[in-house]
Amino acid sequence: MDIIVLRPDTSEEDIRHILKKLESKGLKANVSQGTERTIIGVIGDTSKITEEEEDAIRAANGVENVVRIVKPYKLASRDFKKDNTEINVRGIIIGGKKIPVIAGPCAVEGKDILAGIAEKVKAAGATFLRGGAYKPRTSPYSFQGLGEEGLKYLAAARDKTGLPVVTEIMDPRDMDVMMEYTDIIQIGARNMQNFRLLLEVGSVNKPVMLKRGLSSTIKEWLMSAEYIMSRGNHNVILCERGIRTFETATRNTLDLSAVPLLKQLTHLPVVVDPSHGVGKWDLVAPMSKAAIAAGADGLIIEVHTNPEEAFSDGEQSLKPDFFAKLMQEMKPIAQAVGREI
C-alpha cells in the first residue's frame, strides 16, 4: 500500500480520516492534488501493513484504489505522480517547455570577475548564475572556495543581473547562510550519498539540484532523491554530470541515455552538465546540443572570461563569446523537439 487514489468527490473530512488511519500505523503521508485525481503517497515501511489493514483502507470513504509501488523510490516515482514536476524559481520554470540554462564559473574567485561573467552570460540568454562558494576538491591543497564571502558575491551579482543563483552546499552547518543567499542548493556528485546532508536539505523550503554520483546507478541516484523528498521537500532537480568508466579520453562519460530513461521512471526535472561530463571545452557544445535532443529540462555550463587563469576547471570552461554562439545554435534544436531556449 504505497499509493491511495481518491475519487474526485472525496471530502476533506474523508482525507483527514485516511491520514489519521495511516498515522496510527506509524506511517506518514503526502497528499498530491492532480488535475483529475488526488493521490496520497504513503511514506514508511508499508510491508508491515497486512492484507486486512489494506482492505480496510480500500473500504474507506473516498478511496478509489490502493496501489503497491514495487520500486524502492516512492515519491520520486512516475507511479506516484504522472504529471511532470515543474519547479518555480523566481518566476523561472524548471521542467516546463522552456529550457533554462545555468551558466557561470566553476568557482567564485572575486566580486568583480564574477559580476563581469554574470553580465555576459545574462546578455547571451542564460537564466541562472552558477558558481561555487564552497568547493569539494580531490586535493586538500587545491582552492577550496571563498565560503560566505563567495555567497555574498553571488547575491550581489544576482542583484545586478536578476539571475537567480545556484551553488553547492557541502556541510549541514552551512545551511543557514546558504538559505540566506542562494536560490537553488546544489548537492555535488561526491555528496550524492551523504544521507545526513540529503535529509538536511529535505527539511528546508528551497529547490535542490542533486548531481549524480561519480559511479552511481540510476536507482541509487533516485533513492538519494527519495531521501530529500521523504523530509517534505519535493522540489528536486536531477543533474546528470557524467559517470566514471574505463574511458580516459574525457573527464567522465556523459550518460545521455539517463535522460530519457529518467523521464520514464520519475516526474522530476532532469538537467545535464556537459562541462563536467566531458571536461574539455570544445566538446561542451556538441554534448549540450545532444542533451537537448535527448529531452533535458535544462543545462548547466561553465563559463569564464579567462579560462587560462581560472582557479578551477578552466579547461572545461567556455569563453563568453563561444557561450553566446552556443546559445544561438541550440535554439533550432530545442524547437525541433518542441521546446524553447
Domains and CATH numbers, the chain: 3-67 (3.30.70.1140), 87-336 (3.20.20.70)
Cα–Cα distance, 146 to 133 (Å, whole number): 5
Instruction: Determine the distance from the C-alpha atom of residue 127 to the mean position of all C-alpha atoms in its chain, rounded to a whole number.
Output: 15
Q: Give the list of residues 6+ apart from residue 210 with CB closer than 8 angstroms, or none.
A: 187, 192, 221, 224, 225, 228, 236, 237, 238, 239
Which of these, 162, 210, 160, lies nearest to 185 by C-alpha position?
A: 210
Q: How far, in whole angstroms, is CA 59 from its chain's centroid?
A: 38
- Cβ atoms of 198 and 171 within 8 Å: the answer is no
What local confidence, expressed as pLDDT, does residue 49 receive? 78
Reading the block at residue 226, the C-alpha cell is: 527519495
Cell output for 316: 572545461
d(CA 249, CA 246): 9
Instruction: Find where cell 528546508 sits.
Output: 204
Question: Which amino acid is it at 113?
Answer: I
Q: What does each C-alpha distance from 99 to 14, 227, 314, 330, 334 come to in angstroms?
A: 40, 26, 25, 10, 8
Contact (CB, 8 A) for 37 and 6: yes
CB atoms inside a 10 Å sphere around CB 15 = 20
* Spatial distance between the Cα atoms of 5 and 14, rounded to a whole number of angstroms: 13
Cell numbers standing for residue 175: 545551511
For the chain, residues with pLDDT lower than 70 are: 1, 35, 135-144
The C-alpha cell at 98 is 522552456
In this prediction, residue 39 carries a pLDDT of 85
Nearest to 300 by CA among 162, 100, 136: 100
- The partner residues of 4 in beta bridges, in order of sequence, read 40, 66
pLDDT of residue 105: 96
Q: Which residues contact 93 (CB under 8 A, 6 or more apart)?
A: 86, 87, 100
Q: What is the pLDDT of residue 138?
A: 65
Task: Give the C-alpha distances (Å, rounded to integers) separating 112 from 108, 119, 127.
Answer: 10, 11, 20
Sign of CA dihedral 83, 89, 94, 99: positive
Host H or E run for residue 239? strand 236-240
Contact between 236 and 270 (Cβ < 8 Å): no
